[in-house]
Amino acid sequence: MKEIIIKIPENKLNFFLELMNQLGLEVSQKYDIPEEHMSFVMERIKEDEENPGHLEDWDTVKDQFKLDS
């Protein structure tokens, strides 16, 4: 299988993706993540691995939020 890179204007993206879907073609979107953001995320992951005890269980945390009806 061949892989190509196509630059598409933002206002045509939905049309293009739908067209590719209709044609049965595989589409994967890649995002350019700035190095600064990657460094930040990697540092946070490292901190969490070094000190896992400060993390809280999601089920416990979400119970603290009250949703307005």
The count of domains in the chain is 1
For residue 66, what pLDDT is reported?
Answer: 67
For residue 69, what pLDDT is reported?
Answer: 39
**48 in any annotated domain:** yes
**50 in any annotated domain:** yes
pLDDT tens for 2-29 read 888 889 999 999 999 999 999 999 888 7
* Distance, CA of 42 to CA of 65 (rounded, Å): 28
- HSE at residue 25, side-chain half, CA atoms within 13 A, is 13
**44 in any annotated domain:** yes
Residue range of the domain that includes 53? 34-63
pLDDT tens for 23-53 read 999 888 777 889 999 999 999 889 888 887 8
**24 in any annotated domain:** no
Per the prediction, the chain carries an average pLDDT of 86
Say what percent of the chain tops pLDDT 70: 94
**59 in any annotated domain:** yes
